[in-house]
Amino acid sequence: MCIYSSLSQSEIWLESPEDQNMDETQNTTAEARNEEDIFSILVATDIHMGYAEKDPIRSKDTFVTFEEILQVAQERNVDFLLLGGDLFHDSQPSTYCLYKCTELLKRYCLGDRPITMEYLSDPSLNFSFANTDSVNYEDPNLNVGIPVFSIHGNHDDPTGEQQISALNLISSAGLVNYFGKHTNFNSVEVEPILLKKGQTHLALYGLSHIKDERLGRMFLDKNVSFLTPQGDDWFNLMVIHQNRASRGVKSFIPDKSLPEMIDLVIWGHEHNCLIEPVQAGNNVFISQPGSSVATSLSQGESIPKHIGLLQIYKKEFNMTPIPLKTVRPFIYREILLRDFETLRQEYGENEVDSVANQALAIKEVEKVIEEMIQEAKDLGRKGNMLPLLRLHVGYKDEGQVFNAIRFGQKYQDKVANPKDVIKFRNHMRTSNTRTGDKEDKEFMAETVNLPNRVEDLVLQYFETNDVQLKCLNLRAFNESVMKCIDSNQPDAPIEVCNYLTKDAIKKLEEEAIEEENVEAFIIENNTKQHDVSLVDKILENKLGKKPVARRQEMEIDSGSDDDVSPVKGNDTTASTARGTRPARGPGSRGGRGSRGGRGSRARGKANPLF
C-alpha cells in the first residue's frame, strides 16, 4: 500500500517502496521542496521512427510525433529525455529516417540552455561499447541543451559482427547517450548511470532488449546483477524493453522477476498505454508509457497515446501523463451482425434472397463506420488527419460476408487504411471455442504450452523426432529466419544457407574426409562450431541493403537458442561490486546553471560510489 506525502490537491507524489513505512512526521511537504532538487524527466517509449515510411498517407506520422515529444521537452524545461527502446522501427532505417532523426535532435536538443545536473559515474562503465569518454552534455565540443538517454529495443537492436545499431550512429554524433547495451549473454552486470541534482541522487539502470528466453535463463541462473552505489539516498530508476504480457509459456518477463531494490521501472516494448505507476508483487512500481504510434490495428493500440513527465525528489516521485496531440486517430470497435429478419425490419427490405442478406449487412457496417469516422473527428487532433479504423465484424450467417477490400474502396478519402478497415470473424466458431465442453476446455488449456512461433515449432519437431538436419545447423538457420521477419533482413536465410553449405564443403576438402565418414564429420562440425552468434557475422556485409516490407504486427520476440521456462520469482541479485570502482566527480562545468569551465576535462577526486 503506497503512502502519499502531504501535498496540495494538484499533485500527488508516491514514495518509493523503501520509504513507505516511514513516520508521517518525516514526510516532506510540497512547500519544502526546492525546484533545484527535483529531477524533471520526460519519458517516452516505442517511437518507431520510419514506420509506414512508404505509405503515401502515413509516411510522416512518426516524425511529426517525435517532433512533438521534443517540443514538449523544451516547453517543460526537463532535465533530460529518457527513451525506452525502439526509437527506430527497423534495425536498418532508411537514409531519410536517419536524416530526419538527427535533424530533429539537433534542432531541439542542442543549445545554450544550462544543464543543472551532475554526472557522477564512470563513462568507461556506462558507455564502454560506445567509445566515448563522457556524457554528451559534458563534451566540450558540443553544446547540449536537452540530454537524451536511450536504450535499444527489439526493432533497433545491434546487428552484424560488430554489433552496431542505428543508435550507435546518432550516439557517435553526440546527439544521444546510448546506454544499457549488453553483449555477454551468459551473465549481465547492470551498471547504473549516477546523476545528482541538488539533494536528489538518481541511479539510472538500463537494460536494452535481450531475447526473453535468454534473459529468463540468466534470471533463473542468477546471472543478472545490479551494482548499487554507496549510501541509501539513491532513487533507483530502471528502463527495460521486454515482453511484459504473457504471450506464451516462454515469451515474457514477469513483473516479480524485477529486483526489489528498484524504485520505479519504465517498461518499454508493450504498446498499450498504462503510464500510471502501479505496484508489482515485489513492491516495485512499474510505468508502461506505451508506443507513440500505432503499428498494428489491435485494441490495445487504440488506447490514447501518452508520454510522461517524471519528477523525482529524493526517494519520492510523481508521474504526470501528457497526451500526444499529433498522433493519428485510431478507432477500434467490435460488432455482431444481427440476423436477417431483424435487419429487414429495420431497413424496410422486402427481398429475401442472398443478395438482400449481404446488402443489409453492408448497410449495417456502413452505419457503424460512419459513426467511427465522426468519433475520430470529434477528437480534434492536430492536422485534421485521416483516421485509422478497425472494425471487427462478427457473423453467424455466412451469407452476410462480403468483400472487405472492395468495401473499403469507398472510404479512400475518409480513412487512412481503406484496405483493412474491417475484419470478419465467425461468431459461431468463436462461441464454440469459448463455451465448449470439458474436453474442449482441456484441449485449449493444453494449447497454451504450444510454440507461439513457427521457428519454435520447427525446433520442437527436430528435438522430438529422430530425423535431424545434416548439412545445415538448425539453430543458426532458425535465427536467420527470425532476422528476416523481425529485423527486416529478407536475404538472411539464403545467405546463412549458402554460407553453411560452402563452409561444410570447404572443411570436407581440407580434411580429406573419407566418403564413409562424411556424414559423421558434418554432424560433429555443426555441433562444435555453429551457434546463433555466427548469423550476425554472416550478415555483416548485408547491412547496407534496403529493407522491404515486413510483418507490421509482429511484436513477440522469441526464438532464442535456449529452451527455458519463464522467470519464476525474484532471482535477481542486487550486489555491491568488490573493490573500489573509478568514480566520476561533478565535472568541470561550474555550478548548477553554469555553462562555464567546458574547456577543461579535469575532474576532482571523489569517494568511491560503488
Minimum mean pLDDT range among 47-56, 143-152, 159-168 = 159-168
* Mean pLDDT value across the chain: 79
| Beta strand ranges found along 396-488 (DSSP E) | 422-426
Is residue 250 within 8 Å of residue 453, measured between CB atoms? Answer: no
In the chain, where the domains are located: 38-327, 330-415, 454-542
The C-alpha angle 320, 324, 328, rounded to 5 degrees, equals 155
- Mean pLDDT score, 93-101: 97
Closest residue by Cα to residue 270 from 242, 310, 308: 242
| Beta strand ranges found along 89-150 (DSSP E) | 118-119, 148-150
> How far apart (Å, rounded) are the C-alpha atoms in residues 6 and 276?
20
Say yes or no to pLDDT of 166 above 80. yes
What grid cell was written down for 530?
Answer: 555453429
Please tell me the predicted confidence (pLDDT) of residue 531. Answer: 52
155 is annotated as an active-site residue:
yes
What grid cell was written down for 21?
Answer: 513505512
- Mean pLDDT score, 372-390: 93
Residue 564 CA, chain-centre distance (Å), reads: 22
Please tell me the predicted confidence (pLDDT) of residue 561. Answer: 36
Minimum mean pLDDT range among 112-126, 198-212, 397-411, 572-586 = 572-586
- Mean pLDDT score, 336-357: 79
Q: What is the pTM of this model?
A: 0.74
* Better pLDDT: 167 or 505: 167
pLDDT tens, position by position, 267-299:
999 999 999 999 987 889 999 999 999 999 999
Minimum mean pLDDT range among 223-237, 301-315, 367-381, 507-521 = 507-521
pLDDT tens, position by position, 198-214:
999 999 999 999 988 78
> How far apart (Å, rounded) are the C-alpha atoms in residues 466 and 464?
7
Phi/psi at 165 (nearest 5 deg)?
-120, 170
Distances from the Cα of 581 to the Cαs of 93, 192, 584, in angstroms? 37, 12, 10
Say yes or no to pLDDT of 34 above 80. yes
* Active-site residue (options: 48, 152, 155, 241): 155
Please tell me the predicted confidence (pLDDT) of residue 251. Answer: 63
Q: Which residues pair with 278 in a beta bridge?
A: 286
Give the dihedral of Cα atoms 308, 313, 317, 321; nearest 10 deg: -20
Say yes or no to pLDDT of 414 above 90. yes
Say yes or no to pLDDT of 56 above 70. yes
* Better pLDDT: 144 or 249: 144
pLDDT tens, position by position, 309-324:
999 999 999 999 999 9
CATH class for the region spanning 38-327 = alpha beta
* Better pLDDT: 568 or 381: 381
Residue 412 CA, chain-centre distance (Å), reads: 31
Query: Could you say which DSSP state residue 582 is in?
Result: -
